[in-house]
Amino acid sequence: QFIQSELRPAIIQGQLFLEYQPQVGIDGGVRGVEALVRWRHPRFGVIRPDEFISVAEETGLILPLGLAVIEMACRDLVALRAQGVALPYVSVNVSPRQLADPQLVAALMSALRQHGLGPADMELEVTEGAVMEVNGAESSVLDHLSARGFRIAIDDFGTGYSSLSRLQRMKVDKLKIDRSFIEGLGEPGHDPMLVDMMLALARRMNVKSVAEGVETQQQADWLRAAGCHMIQGYLYAKPMPLAQLGAWMKTHS
């Protein structure tokens, strides 16, 4: 399969790029953006991450890929701010394999420093499954990153199994409610119990809540009324290339 053989040269040759999806606050203002990697393949066009992230994880290429993502996210954040876009931080997805890499912290710090940025300029999105490797090195590295000042978001929240005691102990900034729970919100006959519980949990933990995959005004209205802090989804914007993001940010908020 071509992904196996072509991903490594693609990373080196700069065929990866980032798209950004805004996270919009209750008041309609943009609170942050999530970086999502894409591969511009010379023959097959743009390839989505679902098709190559798992291969990258299996082959270990997620480490150089992850570094390229971090580097591009730093560069793009600086470029956006230079255009006058006020953006508090950029969120990047970090896989379990990256968390297990002993060089991750140094690589992050080095990339940030080279762009005149610091840990507070970056949020790391980690899936619930990865966070809850209770005794694994992943957990202590997250605590370490958090102590360094990185923002930590738990991605796909609700789909893994969380240790509530672990959740209480760790320093998290955001819970991102998985989009599977958002479907159906506000529709007659739909029971919002789980979303209600996750929002209550976020409030009690004193962390921000983000709803993912919001596609309808009905869902957004329900979430706003229920006190969800931020909304991410096609209703506001699809992931878009950097060139579009600056303009989008200036016209929205």
Contact positions vs ligand G (CB under 6 A)? 21, 36-37, 48-50, 53, 69, 92-93, 95, 155-156, 179, 212-215, 233-239, 252
Our CB check for Na ion shows the closer of 101 and 125 to be 125
Q: Does 232 bind Na ion (CB under 5 A)?
A: no
- Rule CB under 5 A: say whether 155 interacts with Mn ion: yes
Site for Mn ion in 192-231 (CB under 5 A): 212
What is the nearest approach in angstroms of Mn ion to the Cβ of residue 230? Answer: 13
The whole-angstrom separation of Cα 78 and Cα 118 is 12
Is the Cβ of residue 190 or residue 252 nearer to ligand G in the bound state?
Answer: 252
- In the complex, the smallest distance separating the C-beta of residue 213 from ligand G, rounded to whole angstroms, is 4
Q: Out of 6, 76, 125, 178, name the contact with Na ion by CB under 5 A.
A: 125
Helix (H, G, I), strand (E, B) or coil at 230: strand
Max distance between CA atoms of the chain, in angstroms, equals 53
Strands (E), 108-201: 122-127, 151-157, 174-177
CA dist 227 and 16 (Å) reads 37
- Token pair 């379990």 in the structure block, residue: 96
123 touches Mn ion (CB under 5 A): no
Least distance to Mn ion from the beta carbon of 155, Å?
4
> What is the distance of C-alpha 220 from the center of its chain?
20
> Residue 35 in contact with residue 42, Cβ under 8 Å?
no
Residues lying near Na ion in the complex (CB under 5 A): 93, 125, 155
